[in-house]
Structure 1
Amino acid sequence: MVEVFGQSLSFLLVVVGTALCIMEALAPGAHLIVIGVALLVAGLVGLFVPAAATPFVLAGLVLAVGLAALWTYRNYDFYQGTGRGQTRDADDLRGERGYVTETVTERSGRVKLQSGGFDPTYGARTISGTIEEGTDVVVVDPGGGNILTVEAVDGQDDIDRELDRERTDADGA
Protein backbone atom coordinates (compact mmCIF):
# COMPACT_ATOMS: atom_id res chain seq x y z
CA MET A 1 0.00 0.00 0.00
CA VAL A 2 1.36 3.43 -1.01
CA GLU A 3 1.72 5.95 1.79
CA VAL A 4 1.99 9.72 1.56
CA PHE A 5 2.67 11.84 4.67
CA GLY A 6 2.25 8.71 6.78
CA GLN A 7 -1.27 8.01 5.47
CA SER A 8 -2.48 5.70 2.73
CA LEU A 9 -2.99 7.30 -0.67
CA SER A 10 -6.61 6.12 -0.67
CA PHE A 11 -7.33 7.83 2.65
CA LEU A 12 -5.78 11.10 1.40
CA LEU A 13 -7.91 10.94 -1.75
CA VAL A 14 -11.05 10.56 0.39
CA VAL A 15 -10.06 13.52 2.59
CA VAL A 16 -9.20 15.82 -0.34
CA GLY A 17 -12.29 14.73 -2.31
CA THR A 18 -14.54 15.38 0.68
CA ALA A 19 -12.94 18.79 1.25
CA LEU A 20 -13.53 19.78 -2.40
CA CYS A 21 -17.18 18.63 -2.24
CA ILE A 22 -17.69 20.72 0.90
CA MET A 23 -16.04 23.71 -0.77
CA GLU A 24 -18.44 23.31 -3.71
CA ALA A 25 -21.37 23.31 -1.30
CA LEU A 26 -20.12 26.61 0.12
CA ALA A 27 -19.48 28.19 -3.30
CA PRO A 28 -21.83 26.60 -5.87
CA GLY A 29 -20.87 26.89 -9.49
CA ALA A 30 -17.14 26.73 -8.87
CA HIS A 31 -17.02 23.26 -10.50
CA LEU A 32 -15.03 21.76 -7.64
CA ILE A 33 -17.63 19.01 -7.44
CA VAL A 34 -16.27 17.24 -10.53
CA ILE A 35 -12.75 16.69 -9.21
CA GLY A 36 -14.07 16.27 -5.66
CA VAL A 37 -16.34 13.39 -6.65
CA ALA A 38 -13.57 11.81 -8.73
CA LEU A 39 -11.09 11.88 -5.85
CA LEU A 40 -13.67 10.74 -3.31
CA VAL A 41 -14.82 7.75 -5.36
CA ALA A 42 -11.26 6.69 -6.23
CA GLY A 43 -10.27 6.96 -2.57
CA LEU A 44 -13.26 4.91 -1.41
CA VAL A 45 -12.52 2.20 -3.99
CA GLY A 46 -8.90 2.15 -2.78
CA LEU A 47 -10.01 1.83 0.86
CA PHE A 48 -12.56 -0.93 0.28
CA VAL A 49 -10.69 -2.83 -2.43
CA PRO A 50 -7.06 -2.89 -1.23
CA ALA A 51 -5.90 -4.69 -4.39
CA ALA A 52 -6.95 -1.60 -6.37
CA ALA A 53 -4.95 0.78 -4.16
CA THR A 54 -2.03 1.14 -6.56
CA PRO A 55 -1.22 4.62 -7.85
CA PHE A 56 -1.91 3.69 -11.50
CA VAL A 57 -5.31 2.15 -10.75
CA LEU A 58 -6.31 5.11 -8.56
CA ALA A 59 -5.15 7.57 -11.24
CA GLY A 60 -7.24 5.71 -13.83
CA LEU A 61 -10.23 5.77 -11.49
CA VAL A 62 -9.84 9.50 -10.90
CA LEU A 63 -9.74 10.08 -14.66
CA ALA A 64 -12.70 7.79 -15.44
CA VAL A 65 -14.90 9.00 -12.58
CA GLY A 66 -13.90 12.61 -13.30
CA LEU A 67 -15.00 12.30 -16.92
CA ALA A 68 -18.27 10.64 -15.86
CA ALA A 69 -18.90 13.34 -13.25
CA LEU A 70 -18.15 16.09 -15.77
CA TRP A 71 -20.49 14.54 -18.34
CA THR A 72 -23.24 14.21 -15.71
CA TYR A 73 -22.68 17.73 -14.43
CA ARG A 74 -22.85 19.25 -17.92
CA ASN A 75 -25.77 17.19 -19.26
CA TYR A 76 -28.03 17.41 -16.26
CA ASP A 77 -27.35 21.12 -15.81
CA PHE A 78 -27.68 21.05 -12.02
CA TYR A 79 -27.10 24.75 -11.48
CA GLN A 80 -27.98 26.25 -14.84
CA GLY A 81 -31.55 24.96 -14.84
CA THR A 82 -32.26 26.99 -11.73
CA GLY A 83 -30.37 30.03 -12.91
CA ARG A 84 -28.09 29.88 -9.89
CA GLY A 85 -24.86 29.11 -11.68
CA GLN A 86 -25.12 31.85 -14.22
CA THR A 87 -22.58 34.55 -14.27
CA ARG A 88 -24.14 37.59 -15.86
CA ASP A 89 -22.54 40.69 -17.23
CA ALA A 90 -24.31 44.02 -17.18
CA ASP A 91 -25.50 43.92 -20.80
CA ASP A 92 -27.30 40.61 -20.18
CA LEU A 93 -29.53 42.34 -17.64
CA ARG A 94 -31.00 44.89 -20.07
CA GLY A 95 -34.67 44.05 -20.64
CA GLU A 96 -34.84 41.61 -17.72
CA ARG A 97 -38.03 41.70 -15.72
CA GLY A 98 -38.50 41.53 -11.99
CA TYR A 99 -40.32 43.19 -9.13
CA VAL A 100 -39.61 45.82 -6.52
CA THR A 101 -38.66 44.53 -3.06
CA GLU A 102 -37.94 47.97 -1.58
CA THR A 103 -39.55 51.14 -2.95
CA VAL A 104 -37.46 52.50 -5.84
CA THR A 105 -36.80 56.23 -6.08
CA GLU A 106 -34.23 58.33 -7.92
CA ARG A 107 -31.77 57.68 -5.06
CA SER A 108 -32.53 54.27 -3.56
CA GLY A 109 -34.44 51.01 -3.83
CA ARG A 110 -34.06 47.28 -4.48
CA VAL A 111 -35.44 44.88 -7.07
CA LYS A 112 -35.39 41.12 -7.57
CA LEU A 113 -35.01 39.92 -11.15
CA GLN A 114 -36.65 36.77 -12.47
CA SER A 115 -33.39 35.38 -13.86
CA GLY A 116 -30.69 37.54 -12.36
CA GLY A 117 -28.02 34.93 -11.64
CA PHE A 118 -26.80 33.57 -8.31
CA ASP A 119 -28.10 36.53 -6.29
CA PRO A 120 -30.97 38.09 -8.27
CA THR A 121 -31.43 41.11 -5.96
CA TYR A 122 -29.99 44.43 -7.09
CA GLY A 123 -29.98 48.02 -5.99
CA ALA A 124 -32.19 50.04 -8.31
CA ARG A 125 -32.99 53.60 -9.28
CA THR A 126 -35.68 55.14 -11.45
CA ILE A 127 -35.24 58.06 -13.82
CA SER A 128 -38.23 59.89 -12.38
CA GLY A 129 -40.92 59.29 -9.81
CA THR A 130 -41.33 56.44 -7.36
CA ILE A 131 -42.04 52.77 -7.99
CA GLU A 132 -43.82 51.09 -5.08
CA GLU A 133 -42.96 47.73 -3.53
CA GLY A 134 -44.40 44.75 -5.43
CA THR A 135 -44.59 46.57 -8.78
CA ASP A 136 -43.32 44.72 -11.86
CA VAL A 137 -40.32 46.40 -13.46
CA VAL A 138 -38.02 46.07 -16.46
CA VAL A 139 -34.31 46.96 -16.53
CA VAL A 140 -33.73 49.86 -18.94
CA ASP A 141 -30.08 50.53 -18.06
CA PRO A 142 -27.91 47.93 -16.31
CA GLY A 143 -25.28 50.56 -15.58
CA GLY A 144 -22.30 48.32 -15.08
CA GLY A 145 -22.29 48.08 -11.32
CA ASN A 146 -24.77 46.75 -8.82
CA ILE A 147 -27.27 49.59 -9.39
CA LEU A 148 -29.83 49.13 -12.17
CA THR A 149 -32.09 51.74 -13.71
CA VAL A 150 -35.62 50.34 -13.93
CA GLU A 151 -39.08 51.37 -15.15
CA ALA A 152 -42.45 50.09 -14.05
CA VAL A 153 -44.24 47.86 -16.55
CA ASP A 154 -47.96 47.71 -17.06
CA GLY A 155 -48.13 43.91 -17.22
CA GLN A 156 -48.05 43.85 -21.01
CA ASP A 157 -45.19 42.47 -23.00
CA ASP A 158 -43.80 43.97 -26.22
CA ILE A 159 -46.20 41.98 -28.40
CA ASP A 160 -49.26 43.16 -26.45
CA ARG A 161 -48.10 46.78 -26.69
CA GLU A 162 -47.55 46.46 -30.46
CA LEU A 163 -51.02 44.90 -30.93
CA ASP A 164 -52.59 47.74 -28.92
CA ARG A 165 -50.68 50.29 -31.01
CA GLU A 166 -51.93 48.65 -34.25
CA ARG A 167 -55.53 48.61 -32.97
CA THR A 168 -55.28 52.30 -32.04
CA ASP A 169 -53.79 53.13 -35.46
CA ALA A 170 -56.56 51.15 -37.24
CA ASP A 171 -59.31 52.85 -35.18
CA GLY A 172 -57.86 56.30 -35.84
CA ALA A 173 -57.38 55.78 -39.58
Structure 2
Amino acid sequence: MVESLVGNVPLLLLVVGLVLMVLEAISPGAHLIVIGIALVGAGLIGVLFPSPLSPIILAGLTLLIGLAAAYVYNEFDFYGGKGTARTTDSDSLSGVTGYVTETVTTRTGEVKLDEGGFAPYYSARTTDGTIEEGEEVIVIDPGGGNVLTVESVNAIGEDEIDRALARDEATKGADREAADGGGESIPDPEPETETETENSG
Protein backbone atom coordinates (compact mmCIF):
# COMPACT_ATOMS: atom_id res chain seq x y z
CA MET A 1 0.00 0.00 0.00
CA VAL A 2 2.77 2.45 0.95
CA GLU A 3 4.68 1.71 -2.27
CA SER A 4 1.59 2.39 -4.35
CA LEU A 5 1.12 5.75 -2.60
CA VAL A 6 4.76 6.82 -2.98
CA GLY A 7 4.89 5.76 -6.62
CA ASN A 8 1.60 7.46 -7.42
CA VAL A 9 1.90 11.14 -6.43
CA PRO A 10 -1.70 12.08 -7.32
CA LEU A 11 -3.05 9.29 -5.12
CA LEU A 12 -0.71 10.36 -2.30
CA LEU A 13 -1.99 13.95 -2.56
CA LEU A 14 -5.57 12.72 -2.51
CA VAL A 15 -5.04 10.60 0.62
CA VAL A 16 -3.10 13.29 2.51
CA GLY A 17 -5.73 15.88 1.59
CA LEU A 18 -8.54 13.66 2.84
CA VAL A 19 -6.68 13.03 6.10
CA LEU A 20 -6.23 16.78 6.62
CA MET A 21 -9.92 17.40 5.93
CA VAL A 22 -10.88 14.74 8.49
CA LEU A 23 -8.54 16.36 11.02
CA GLU A 24 -10.22 19.71 10.34
CA ALA A 25 -13.61 18.11 10.95
CA ILE A 26 -12.36 16.76 14.29
CA SER A 27 -10.74 20.06 15.31
CA PRO A 28 -12.51 22.96 13.56
CA GLY A 29 -10.67 26.23 13.17
CA ALA A 30 -7.23 24.74 12.57
CA HIS A 31 -7.34 25.91 8.92
CA LEU A 32 -6.33 22.46 7.68
CA ILE A 33 -9.33 22.51 5.38
CA VAL A 34 -7.62 24.91 2.96
CA ILE A 35 -4.57 22.70 2.53
CA GLY A 36 -6.77 19.61 2.45
CA ILE A 37 -8.93 21.00 -0.34
CA ALA A 38 -5.85 22.00 -2.34
CA LEU A 39 -4.32 18.54 -2.03
CA VAL A 40 -7.58 16.70 -2.74
CA GLY A 41 -8.27 18.88 -5.78
CA ALA A 42 -4.81 18.40 -7.24
CA GLY A 43 -4.88 14.70 -6.40
CA LEU A 44 -8.24 14.16 -8.08
CA ILE A 45 -7.14 15.97 -11.23
CA GLY A 46 -3.90 13.97 -11.24
CA VAL A 47 -5.75 10.66 -10.85
CA LEU A 48 -8.33 11.50 -13.53
CA PHE A 49 -5.87 13.05 -16.03
CA PRO A 50 -2.40 11.46 -15.66
CA SER A 51 0.48 13.34 -17.32
CA PRO A 52 4.22 12.78 -17.78
CA LEU A 53 4.93 16.18 -16.17
CA SER A 54 2.66 15.23 -13.31
CA PRO A 55 4.71 16.49 -10.30
CA ILE A 56 5.19 20.00 -11.75
CA ILE A 57 1.59 20.27 -12.89
CA LEU A 58 0.34 18.93 -9.56
CA ALA A 59 2.42 21.50 -7.66
CA GLY A 60 0.91 24.31 -9.74
CA LEU A 61 -2.60 22.90 -9.34
CA THR A 62 -2.11 22.58 -5.59
CA LEU A 63 -1.08 26.22 -5.40
CA LEU A 64 -3.97 27.46 -7.56
CA ILE A 65 -6.61 25.38 -5.80
CA GLY A 66 -5.13 26.35 -2.42
CA LEU A 67 -5.36 30.05 -3.25
CA ALA A 68 -8.96 29.63 -4.40
CA ALA A 69 -9.84 27.65 -1.27
CA ALA A 70 -8.18 30.25 0.98
CA TYR A 71 -10.14 33.03 -0.71
CA VAL A 72 -13.45 31.20 -0.33
CA TYR A 73 -12.62 30.23 3.26
CA ASN A 74 -11.83 33.83 4.24
CA GLU A 75 -14.65 35.39 2.24
CA PHE A 76 -17.45 33.23 3.58
CA ASP A 77 -16.04 32.65 7.09
CA PHE A 78 -17.68 29.27 7.63
CA TYR A 79 -17.07 29.41 11.38
CA GLY A 80 -19.34 32.39 11.82
CA GLY A 81 -19.56 36.13 11.83
CA LYS A 82 -16.14 37.26 10.64
CA GLY A 83 -14.97 36.78 14.21
CA THR A 84 -17.31 39.41 15.63
CA ALA A 85 -18.94 37.15 18.17
CA ARG A 86 -15.72 35.61 19.41
CA THR A 87 -13.92 36.69 22.54
CA THR A 88 -10.36 37.55 21.61
CA ASP A 89 -8.89 37.64 25.12
CA SER A 90 -9.96 38.03 28.71
CA ASP A 91 -9.57 41.83 28.62
CA SER A 92 -12.39 42.02 26.08
CA LEU A 93 -14.77 40.73 28.77
CA SER A 94 -14.41 43.92 30.81
CA GLY A 95 -17.66 45.90 30.70
CA VAL A 96 -19.68 43.01 29.24
CA THR A 97 -23.10 42.50 30.78
CA GLY A 98 -24.91 39.32 31.63
CA TYR A 99 -27.03 37.80 34.35
CA VAL A 100 -26.48 35.65 37.41
CA THR A 101 -27.24 31.93 37.01
CA GLU A 102 -26.02 30.93 40.47
CA THR A 103 -25.99 33.38 43.39
CA VAL A 104 -22.72 35.33 43.37
CA THR A 105 -20.89 35.98 46.63
CA THR A 106 -17.32 36.88 47.47
CA ARG A 107 -16.43 33.17 47.25
CA THR A 108 -18.77 31.45 44.76
CA GLY A 109 -21.17 32.08 41.92
CA GLU A 110 -21.77 31.79 38.20
CA VAL A 111 -22.88 34.20 35.50
CA LYS A 112 -23.89 33.94 31.86
CA LEU A 113 -22.50 36.76 29.74
CA ASP A 114 -24.40 38.22 26.80
CA GLU A 115 -21.25 38.30 24.66
CA GLY A 116 -19.43 35.40 26.30
CA GLY A 117 -18.55 33.47 23.15
CA PHE A 118 -18.99 29.74 22.65
CA ALA A 119 -19.23 28.94 26.37
CA PRO A 120 -20.84 32.01 28.00
CA TYR A 121 -20.95 30.61 31.55
CA TYR A 122 -18.23 31.90 33.88
CA SER A 123 -17.39 31.54 37.55
CA ALA A 124 -17.87 34.89 39.21
CA ARG A 125 -17.20 36.71 42.45
CA THR A 126 -18.30 40.04 43.80
CA THR A 127 -16.18 42.44 45.80
CA ASP A 128 -18.75 42.66 48.58
CA GLY A 129 -22.25 41.49 49.34
CA THR A 130 -24.38 39.03 47.41
CA ILE A 131 -25.92 39.21 43.95
CA GLU A 132 -29.04 37.11 43.62
CA GLU A 133 -29.88 34.74 40.76
CA GLY A 134 -31.40 36.43 37.72
CA GLU A 135 -29.97 39.86 38.49
CA GLU A 136 -28.18 41.73 35.69
CA VAL A 137 -24.44 42.17 36.20
CA ILE A 138 -21.48 43.85 34.53
CA VAL A 139 -17.90 42.55 34.49
CA ILE A 140 -15.60 44.97 36.30
CA ASP A 141 -12.49 42.75 36.30
CA PRO A 142 -12.07 39.83 33.87
CA GLY A 143 -9.44 38.23 36.11
CA GLY A 144 -7.74 36.37 33.29
CA GLY A 145 -11.03 34.85 32.15
CA ASN A 146 -11.14 32.14 34.83
CA VAL A 147 -13.03 33.91 37.60
CA LEU A 148 -14.73 37.19 36.79
CA THR A 149 -15.33 39.97 39.27
CA VAL A 150 -18.82 41.30 38.65
CA GLU A 151 -21.04 43.99 40.08
CA SER A 152 -24.80 44.31 39.94
CA VAL A 153 -25.93 46.85 37.37
CA ASN A 154 -28.49 48.15 39.88
CA ALA A 155 -25.82 48.60 42.56
CA ILE A 156 -23.60 50.73 40.39
CA GLY A 157 -24.53 54.18 41.53
CA GLU A 158 -23.83 57.58 40.20
CA ASP A 159 -20.10 58.24 40.02
CA GLU A 160 -18.15 61.50 39.91
CA ILE A 161 -18.43 61.75 36.12
CA ASP A 162 -22.21 61.34 36.24
CA ARG A 163 -22.47 64.04 38.91
CA ALA A 164 -20.26 66.40 36.89
CA LEU A 165 -22.37 65.84 33.78
CA ALA A 166 -25.56 66.51 35.76
CA ARG A 167 -24.09 69.75 37.19
CA ASP A 168 -23.01 70.84 33.72
CA GLU A 169 -26.46 70.14 32.30
CA ALA A 170 -28.13 72.04 35.15
CA THR A 171 -25.82 75.02 34.59
CA LYS A 172 -26.55 75.04 30.87
CA GLY A 173 -30.28 74.81 31.57
CA ALA A 174 -30.13 77.77 33.98
CA ASP A 175 -28.14 79.80 31.46
CA ARG A 176 -30.72 79.07 28.77
CA GLU A 177 -33.56 80.15 31.05
CA ALA A 178 -31.76 83.36 31.94
CA ALA A 179 -31.15 84.11 28.28
CA ASP A 180 -34.82 83.49 27.52
CA GLY A 181 -35.91 85.82 30.32
CA GLY A 182 -36.70 83.24 32.92
CA GLY A 183 -38.33 80.85 30.58
CA GLU A 184 -41.67 82.68 30.27
CA SER A 185 -42.28 85.72 28.17
CA ILE A 186 -43.91 88.60 30.04
CA PRO A 187 -46.25 90.67 27.89
CA ASP A 188 -45.22 94.29 27.43
CA PRO A 189 -47.56 96.83 29.03
CA GLU A 190 -49.68 98.67 26.52
CA PRO A 191 -48.44 102.17 25.88
CA GLU A 192 -50.72 104.96 26.96
CA THR A 193 -52.43 106.75 24.15
CA GLU A 194 -52.91 110.51 23.95
CA THR A 195 -56.61 110.28 24.61
CA GLU A 196 -56.08 108.51 27.91
CA THR A 197 -53.61 111.14 29.09
CA GLU A 198 -55.93 113.97 28.10
CA ASN A 199 -58.86 112.41 29.95
CA SER A 200 -56.87 111.93 33.11
CA GLY A 201 -55.65 115.54 33.13
Interval containing the TM-score (normalised by the shorter chain): 0.7 to 0.9
Task: Provide the residue aligned with 1:81 in structure 2.
Answer: 81
Are 2:10 and 1:6 equivalent residues in the alignment? no
Deviation per CA, 1:143-162, whole angstroms, max 9, x where unpaired? 124111112225xxxxxxx6
Relative to structure 1, the CA distance from residue 74 to residue 109 in structure 2 (aligned partners, 3 Å threshold; closer, same or farther) is same
The separation in 2 between residues aligned to 1:13 and 1:134, in whole angstroms, is: 55
- Aligned AA for 1:33? I
Matches within 5 A, 1:11-90: 11-51=11-51, 54-81=54-81, 83=83, 86=86, 88-90=88-90
Relative to structure 1, the CA distance from residue 107 to residue 61 in structure 2 (aligned partners, 3 Å threshold; closer, same or farther) is same
Q: Taking CA–CA contacts closer than 8 Å with sequence separation of 6 or more, which of the two structures ends up with the larger relative contact order?
A: 1
Task: Provide the residue aligned with 2:104 in structure 1.
Answer: 104
Task: Provide the residue aligned with 2:182 in structure 1.
Answer: none
Structure 1 position 70, deviation (Å): 1.4
Structure 2: stretches of 5+ with no match in the other structure: 155-161, 175-201
Are 2:116 and 1:116 equivalent residues in the alignment? yes
RMSD: 3.2
Structure 1 position 81, deviation (Å): 0.6
Q: TM-score, normalised by structure 1?
A: 0.74
Task: Provide the residue aligned with 1:94 in structure 2.
Answer: 94
Structure 1 position 87, deviation (Å): 5.6
The separation in 2 between residues aligned to 1:136 and 1:34, in whole angstroms, is: 42
- Aligned AA for 1:74? N
Structure 1: stretches of 5+ with no match in the other structure: 155-161
Secondary structure of the residue that 1:37 maps to in structure 2?
helix
The separation in 2 between residues aligned to 1:128 and 1:137, in whole angstroms, is: 14
Q: TM-score, normalised by structure 2?
A: 0.65
Structure 1 position 130, deviation (Å): 2.6
In the alignment of these two chains, the number of paired residues is 161
Structure whose alpha-carbon radius of gyration is higher: 2
Deviation per CA, 1:54-103, whole angstroms, max 9, x where unpaired? 11121112111111111122222232517598462221211122233333
Relative to structure 1, the CA distance from residue 67 to residue 125 in structure 2 (aligned partners, 3 Å threshold; closer, same or farther) is same
Structure richer in strand, relative to its length: 1
